[in-house]
Chains A and B, each alone.
Chain A
């Protein structure tokens, strides 16, 4: 079936005219028709026409691509899966959307997420709960759960997600697909509705590492509209796709394979690491002594920034507005009704952490921990070229299993958060199944060293030959 192929394969076949772009779009559309009711990956669908220009660089021309619904699309609703933006239509395109338009992708739609990207299960969407295609009683992970589930279910060929503390990698891991968070600043954030500005990055969610490299190439690059965007030459990422890892030093972060990890995951993960070793890579153990503080630091920094970033949703200019007698009441009602529980929890947490008298003890301390973690990474990268861990401590959990326990939910990001705090690139690649559910292998690289990350990921993919597909009907 066409929807089962990768963008790279589809592009080859399109060029050979084995089928038309319309046939491809139709195939994905009919796949959506048959499985979307079980998956609920999308918030909004986009209808487009195939592009007939043959002179477009890259492999994504007419490839069905989904976009997480916190990335602005001109003239198309961008809801952040929040009631407060339920009918919000942006008047401009995010830089990544512009780039994808230049690459002439066929947009399938906007995918569901945890409201404002706050969550790890996509259960925090104001509209619907996305299901994991591997087991629809389970969550797809989050917050880019819609994008990961859509790719896994064949409801699109590739997708964009955003990753603040693991929001690309954790759902990719849960859904058995590839997800990458690039170096902070590599991909423009302009048009990504901000959650935590110093941590947010847009990245690809794809079926394999090859598509990931191509999609990253399509969206990376300096953007004058983003002051944190890096002005650096963009390497030809697909050139990294060699499985030669001879002599590559792979550091296993010992703190991330210790307690709290499901034994099934630990097993699949270490088998995968052994396979890399058999390919000539050298496995070393590294320690990151401060990593245990990453989670608390993250849950101060991210909510602090969010409390400020989300202030603009006040009912004055756009989005939902509650009727009220005066301004203050309007603000209060709009935000009480417009935001969901998790968003409100984090806004309150962040507001508190930034308050006079608490700032130094919370935000200030968290920033110091952030510096310590960056130092930890620097030291670790002196011993290894890439650092690896299981992407998540558990496989996809059941819907409703953790909704009453935010702390347990937060713990599912324990292995992914450090890369956001340090701003380094990290990828999750499927490396096997544990009790029928996918396990993700996380590879982190040095600042701007996407090439080594992709090379390692490709080598892993080639050795593992993870061919399983979710059985959706």
Chain B
């Protein structure tokens, strides 16, 4: 193993699409996956003469995010125009924020296996999203396309951008940070935080420096990481790439790199020389807005339970170990699920936790589903736990039942009845009965040995009678044949 003499310095920029009903500056609905260009209006299409009007809900949401990230909320804030040409931008400028974001100077304590790490938040601001380009080519990349289409449904959707200080030191920490931020926006109810669908997008600035150094190395920005897995893979790739460069006496270029999921590597998108001058200036169509102390305090007082508070509650109220509490609050849906299940099963929250973190998570991961997309409701799970507690079914059967209920959505009660799973399937238990029956019916055993098939039916019947009908006939048959 090589001696590790470099450390990674990572800062993140995270864009979160906000779940407001209407867009940032017009009345068009915020939607996902609808027919292209069906949720647009003259304003979000940037038609000549149109003007933006700020969505108050979006300002409320970004204020909530700022507060949840322990930021200072700036009493006066302003929109700037970020000017650049691109076909997915109807006005060829993006309304964003520049020198006075809504929120600045916060932090988030990221929970890691080895403890906590404080990541400082430089700023959280609000802006509008662009449309989407569809490049008509096999790869979907622009340079191979004969033509491109634009869908403006997304154009003007409110986006919250959170920028961290370069306080992250590894891909794992980055994933933990993003995961925690995602859980926060979910708990706030301001975004679904879905990375795969692009409602949460992460760009990372990465540089390396010798361990112990306080200077920053030359950084590269990595884009296009569309899942937690690709975030981790991309950052690890980039760290290794830079490390190899530096070890071999090369230098890192300041550039923007594109994560290619298929190739499993980052490639140059544009060099620093090509960096655009966005010519930011205050948007004269939108006057500076005040976020008064009263306004901020009112929002603060109405903040819902945040993941860290929920985690604390899970530990204090339900007696969960810290690890369980952390895992269960990594997404709002999981936390909600746990809360609801415990309401129905107060006697042993840890048992509920075990099932969610164990069997359930395993199934969800394999099926690539979120907990709230599963057919298994808390009622289902609690039904199963009760069956186990009443010893109606064994733990082993329970897993079979779980499987069945995961696939069909049927309640465990019904599955057990339909599949007659209450019966005894434990071979050793059945074997005891079989042995006893064979001993008591020597004649029948002899008959069977001499080829009288009728005798088998008699013996099986005797076993069923002794087991009160719960023994599995197939097993009984097999065991009798084996023993004779």
Binding site for B on A (CB under 8 A): 71-72, 78, 80, 85, 88, 90-92, 94, 189-194, 196-198, 224-228, 304-305, 307-308, 311-314, 316-318, 327, 331, 351, 354-356, 359, 363
Select A72's contact among B49, B280, B281, beta carbons within 8 Å: B49
Select B87's contact among A92, A94, A311, A316, beta carbons within 8 Å: A316
A359 to B98, CA, bound (A): 14
Within 8 A of A (CB), among B41-57: 42, 45-54
Contact A305 B284 (CB under 8 A): yes
In the complex, what residue of chain A is closest to B45 when comparing beta carbons?
A: A317
Interface string of B443-455 (1 = CB under 8 A from A): 0000000000000
Contact B281 A197 (CB under 8 A): no
Contact A197 B284 (CB under 8 A): yes
Contact B277 A92 (CB under 8 A): no
Contact A317 B90 (CB under 8 A): yes
Contact B48 A314 (CB under 8 A): no
Within 8 A of A (CB), among B264-282: 277, 279-281
Contact B285 A228 (CB under 8 A): yes
Contact B49 A190 (CB under 8 A): yes
Contact A225 B49 (CB under 8 A): no
A317 to B91, CA, bound (A): 10
Judge whether B81 is part of the interface by a CB distance below 8 angstroms. yes
In the complex, what residue of chain B is closest to A93 when comparing beta carbons?
A: B49
Main secondary structure of the interface of A (DSSP, over half): loop
Contact A228 B90 (CB under 8 A): no
In the complex where A225-B53, A311-B83, A311-B85 touch, is A363 in contact with B92 (Cβ < 8 A)? no
In the complex, what residue of chain A is closest to B41 when comparing beta carbons?
A: A92
Select B92's contact among A72, A80, A85, A312, beta carbons within 8 Å: A312
Contact residues in B for A316 (Cβ distance below 8 Å): 87, 150
A193 to B42, CA, bound (A): 13
A363 to B85, CA, bound (A): 21
Interface string of B83-95 (1 = CB under 8 A from A): 1010100111100
Within 8 A of A (CB), among B67-102: 81, 83, 85, 87, 90-93
The 7 closest A-B CB pairs, nearest first, are A311-B92, A198-B284, A354-B279, A197-B284, A191-B49, A193-B48, A72-B49
A394 to B424, CA, bound (A): 108
In the complex where A197-B284, A312-B92 touch, is A331 in contact with B85 (Cβ < 8 A)? yes
In the complex, what residue of chain B is closest to A318 when comparing beta carbons?
A: B47
Contact residues in B for A354 (Cβ distance below 8 Å): 83, 279-281
CB distance from B83 to the nearest CB of A (A): 5
Contact A94 B92 (CB under 8 A): no
Main secondary structure of the interface of B (DSSP, over half): loop
Chain B CB within 10 A, most for which of A85, A196, A359: A359
A191 to B45, CA, bound (A): 13
In the complex where A197-B285, A227-B285, A308-B83 touch, is A190 in contact with B51 (Cβ < 8 A)? yes
Can you sample 19 A-B contacts with CB below 8 Å?
Answer: A88-B48, A90-B42, A90-B47, A90-B49, A92-B42, A190-B51, A194-B48, A194-B49, A197-B284, A305-B284, A308-B81, A308-B279, A311-B91, A313-B48, A314-B85, A314-B92, A317-B45, A327-B87, A354-B280
Contact B87 A85 (CB under 8 A): no
Contact B49 A192 (CB under 8 A): yes
In the complex, what residue of chain A is closest to B81 when comparing beta carbons?
A: A308
Contact B47 A304 (CB under 8 A): no
CB distance from A53 to the nearest CB of B (A): 28
Binding site for A on B (CB under 8 A): 42, 45-54, 81, 83, 85, 87, 90-93, 150, 277, 279-281, 284-287
A198 to B281, CA, bound (A): 12
A304 to B49, CA, bound (A): 17
Contact B87 A90 (CB under 8 A): no
Contact residues in A for B81 (Cβ distance below 8 Å): 308
Extra pairs beyond A308-B81, A308-B279, A316-B150 (13, CB < 8 Å): A78-B49, A90-B42, A90-B47, A92-B47, A189-B51, A190-B50, A194-B48, A224-B53, A226-B53, A308-B83, A312-B90, A314-B92, A355-B279
A441 to B433, CA, bound (A): 117
Contact residues in A for B92 (Cβ distance below 8 Å): 311-312, 314
Contact A304 B281 (CB under 8 A): yes
Contact residues in B for A91 (Cβ distance below 8 Å): 42, 47
Contact A193 B49 (CB under 8 A): yes
A94 to B47, CA, bound (A): 12
A374 to B91, CA, bound (A): 31
In the complex, what residue of chain A is closest to B46 when comparing beta carbons?
A: A312
CB distance from A359 to the nearest CB of B (A): 7
Contact A308 B93 (CB under 8 A): yes
Contact residues in B for A189 (Cβ distance below 8 Å): 51
CB distance from B386 to the nearest CB of A (A): 57
Contact B277 A355 (CB under 8 A): yes
A194 to B49, CA, bound (A): 6
CB distance from B52 to the nearest CB of A (A): 7
A139 to B311, CA, bound (A): 75
Contact residues in A for B51 (Cβ distance below 8 Å): 189-190, 225-228
Contact residues in B for A193 (Cβ distance below 8 Å): 48-49
A363 to B49, CA, bound (A): 23
A444 to B83, CA, bound (A): 35
In the complex, what residue of chain B is closest to A356 when comparing beta carbons?
A: B277
A189 to B92, CA, bound (A): 20
A314 to B52, CA, bound (A): 20
A355 to B48, CA, bound (A): 24
